Amino acid sequence: MKDAVFDDFIDRLRSQSDIVSVISEYVPLKKRGKNYWGCCPFHHEKTPSFSVTPDKGFFYCFGCQSGGNVFNFLMKLENLTFMEAVKKLAAKLNVPVPEKEKSEQERQAEREMAGLLKANATASDFFHACLTKTSYGKAAREYLKARGVDDETVAAFRLGFAPKAWDKLTTALTSRGFTADALAKAGLAVARTGGDGVYDRFRDRIMFPIADARGRVIGFGGRVMDGSQPKYLNTAETPVFNKRYVLYGFDLAYQAIKQAGKAIVVEGYMDLIALHASGIKNAVASLGTSFTPEQARQLARHVEEIYFAYDSDAAGQNATLRALATVRALGLAVRVITLPDGKDPDEFIRRHGADAFRALMDQAPALLAYQVSQALQTNDYSSASGKMGVLAQAIPALAEAPDLAEVNEHIRMLSQTLGIHEEDIRREIRKNQQKDKAANRGQNSNVLSLTQKLAPKTVAAERQLIRLMLEDRSVIPYVQAELTGEDIQGGERKTIINSLFTAYNMGKSPAADGLALGLPEAAATELSNIMVMEIQLNDISRVVDDCIRIIRVARLEPLIMVHSLRAEEFLRLGDESNYRQELAESQRIKDEISKLHQA
């Protein structure tokens, strides 16, 4: 079937779906005004902030900023792919789903993907059988039992054992029809030097199957039982496995994470297994000490708060600091569980139990408190140089922290602990902040304007303009003529507007629900927010002009500072010609802003 026909089917399916009816199967909704409201299913809340607009076909949560159309809702809530959501919705409406025509290249890629997943699944069964049913796994069974891992946990995590021989797995799988090349591509085997066959990648190791969010085995981690190295060996990167994008145990923790509204991140397989076995199910592992931005974004879609419980040794604490820097950029609340006596979560839970671990969670400090505490713990502040070391670590964290009350509390504590006047600490914080500002002065005007936080009225103007263009198509060419690509400063809204312009210029009549399907996730979510807004459609022409004026002024005002700063720098350097040019440009922008206000 041609793509155009399939796209038409998707459009018809979406238009025939009653988004209120679909969401009501999962969330109690009450009508208020034109929209329906309920408590968000994607995070915990007591006051409804989850809105559904039936005539536009969108939902949006003003609490956790989740949004989308009926497909997005099913994908997010039930952890489905787009096609799975399409099939589920079609089944609800009793509509048959036609097959989408694929190119030979697409079919080949699908066959390869299916083959790799089948090889991994078969290998998982082989390793599990070796552990639980053969003499090969006797020592591994005893090792796991000594580590407190019972048979139920072995079954839940499908733990296995790779025999010591060089070819047990490859022999078993080739006898079942898998080629040596397929095993190598799946990361299960390694080509011999000279290209003469393959041998098992994993040998004499306890095996931890690694699954994707849908529970499909995509790779493995193998752990030795003695002191040999490497202690852990993961599957190398394959077409189905990239550890930057995978959190061990996420498939098992998904529902608990959604229910709790927070996630616990640990380093290793055994740490994760110990938490789950003790009843703490909202935990995942980062496959080692490196917590990646991709893993952070995966959790950010489901939680507002992340607890880190890495090992309490020096390497673990350094890994924690790196992870905190990764998460901070996403705006999530962060807490750090501090384990005593150099223990890891696995050892702590085996010795003290789940309740003791939960008590540590309750005491877990927030991000800034942890950073300041680490500065004090890693420096001997009995000496002047040690005190300077504490400040060198703590000042950047204090300078970046957004909560002034929290910052003041730590300044007072540091003053008392170090015997340094509060004002001296505040002065160093101001210096750090001014240094960051100075670093931005060398940026061009586009970068500077984009890094500034947009004023609420500018955000509102961009959103309202998008909504008006979707309500009245005749507005689109007028906005195209009045605004440039640089005028829209909100990244997601710029993506929406560019898609809108593209569709219009191609002769299409862009509708919000169809537009959303071609947008990146963040832009589609922002479009959902825009479509659930209740707006007045009186005097559209005047409102459009007001929005354009606000948007243009918002872009121009920061440029005055840019050119003024450049003028100051040229004056300091004695460059009279460029000094005057920058002053003239600054005045030109002021005049343009003045005209916009008078319009």
Give 102-119 pLDDT, tens digit per residue. 778 878 888 899 999 999
Q: Of residues 56 and 128, which shows the higher confidence score? A: 128
The mean pLDDT of 65-77, rounded to a whole number, is 85
Between 290 and 394, the higher pLDDT residue: 394
Tell me, what's the pLDDT at 329? 63
Place of tokens 């935990």: 283
Instruction: Give the confidence band of 162 by pLDDT, cuts at 50, 70, 90.
Output: very high
- Local confidence band at 100 (pLDDT 50, 70, 90 cut-offs): low
Sheet of 305-308, strands arranged across: 283-285, 262-266, 305-308, 333-336
Q: State whether residue 553 is helix, strand or coil.
A: helix
Question: Which of 326, 308, 324, 304 has its CA nearest to residue 260?
Answer: 304
Asked whether the predicted pLDDT for residue 443 surpasses 60, the reply is no
First and final C-alpha spacing in the chain: 53
Mean pLDDT taken over the chain: 84
Q: Are 180 and 171 in contact, with CB atoms under 8 Å apart?
A: no
pLDDT tens for each residue of 213-266: 889 999 999 999 988 888 999 999 999 999 888 999 999 998 899 888 899 999
Cα–Cα separations (whole angstroms), residue 269 to 162, 184, 221, 266, 558: 16, 24, 8, 8, 50
In the chain, the percentage of residues whose pLDDT exceeds 70 is 91
> What pLDDT is stored for residue 248 in this prediction?
96
Say if CB 357 and CB 275 are below 8 A apart.
Answer: yes
Highest mean pLDDT among 200-214, 315-329, 535-549: 200-214
**What are the extents of the domains in the chain?**
3-93, 104-241, 245-364, 373-440, 449-598
Q: Quick check: 447 pLDDT over 50?
A: no
DSSP 34-64: TEEEE--TTS--SS--EEEETTTTEEEETTT
CATH T-level fold of 104-241: DNA primase DNAg catalytic core, N-terminal domain (3.90.980)
Would you place residue 159 in the very low, low, confident or very high pLDDT band (cuts 50, 70, 90)?
Answer: very high
Q: Does residue 448 surpass a pLDDT of 60?
A: no
Length of the chain: 599
Domain covering 449-598 assigned CATH 1.10.8.100 in the classification: no
With a cut of 70, say whether residue 400 has pLDDT above it.
Answer: yes
- Tell which CATH architecture fits domain 245-364: 3-Layer(aba) Sandwich (3.40)
Tokens representing 538 are 């009186």
State the pTM of this model: 0.64
> Which pLDDT does position 357 carry in this prediction?
95
Q: Closest Cα to residue 10, out of 502, 512, 514?
A: 514
pLDDT at 339 over 80: yes
- Token pair 């050119």 is found at 563
- pLDDT above 50 (res 463): yes
Beta strand 217-223 with 160-162 is: unpaired
| pLDDT (0 to 100) of residue 472 | 81
Could you tell me which residue, 313 or 73, shows the higher pLDDT? 73
Mean pLDDT of all residues in 376-389 = 87
d(C-alpha 64, C-alpha 403), whole Å: 20
Q: Which phi and psi angles does 285 have, rounded to 5°?
A: -120, 150
More confident residue, 453 or 124: 124
Structure confidence at residue 441 (pLDDT): 42
pLDDT for the residue numbered 445: 35
- pLDDT at residue 435, as a whole number: 63
* Residue that has been written with the tokens 């961009």 in this structure: 462
Of the pLDDT bands very low, low, confident and very high (cuts 50, 70, 90), residue 557 is confident
Buried b (16+ CB within 10 A) or exposed e, 31-53: eeeebbbbbbbbbbbeebbbbbb
pLDDT of residue 188: 97
At 253 the three-state DSSP class reads helix
Per the listing, tokens 């460059």 go with 575
Task: Answer yes or no: CATH 3.90.580.10 is held by domain 3-93.
Answer: yes
Residue 241 has a pLDDT of: 94
Residue 446: pLDDT band (50, 70, 90) is: very low
